[in-house]
Amino acid sequence: MWITAYFETYTGPAAGLSPIIRIRDIVTGNVVASGVMSDIGDGFYKYDFTGYDITQDYAILCDSLTLPAEKRYKSFSSGEYGDIIDTVSILSDNVDIRTLLVKKILTNRLELVDGDTDNWVLYDDDSATPLLTWDVTDKTDSAIYQQYGTESRRSKAT
């Protein structure tokens, strides 16, 4: 599995670094891999985590060593594979991004209604509250009017 990190200075992408990466097993706290990341250009660096096991959880720290403290570190974490849609997260620059929206898009009630404005509706977990809407038209950019018996709804997954 390729792990990438972006480093920057106050003026733009940081080139010519040799960031050190340390990967820990979240359950045991043991370091399972470490090494020097390779520069791939434009401030991006990569590391091939050959020991990656999709069933394990990892905490990843990339240390650029020579950059100022506020630019020096990048951190990431992986979630549990067995319940990946509910728990996988990415922690980058201390911003936690959950895949809850992805789960909702894949599993919640979805309905196409006649018209061309806000006519593709994704409902929240209660199957009644609209969460997201999209404007959808036919291939000639005209409003959609459905024929009798045409399936235009997906029930919430159980």
Domains of the chain: 2-103 (2.60.40), 108-152 (no CATH)
Q: What's the confidence (pLDDT) of residue 80?
A: 46
**What are the backbone angles phi and psi of residue 30, rounded to the nearest 5°?**
-75, 145
For 51-141, list the strands marked E by DSSP: 58-63, 73-77, 89-92, 95-98, 110-112, 120-123, 130-134
| pLDDT lower than 70: segments of the chain | 79-100, 149, 151, 158
For the full predicted model, state whether its pTM sits above 0.85: no
Q: What's the confidence (pLDDT) of residue 95?
A: 40
Inter-residue contact 32 to 24 (CB < 8 Å): yes
Q: What's the confidence (pLDDT) of residue 158?
A: 67
8-state DSSP, 140: T
Residue 139, SS3 per DSSP: coil
Inter-residue contact 136 to 119 (CB < 8 Å): yes
Question: Taking the CB of residue 116, how many other CB atoms lie within 10 A of it?
Answer: 14
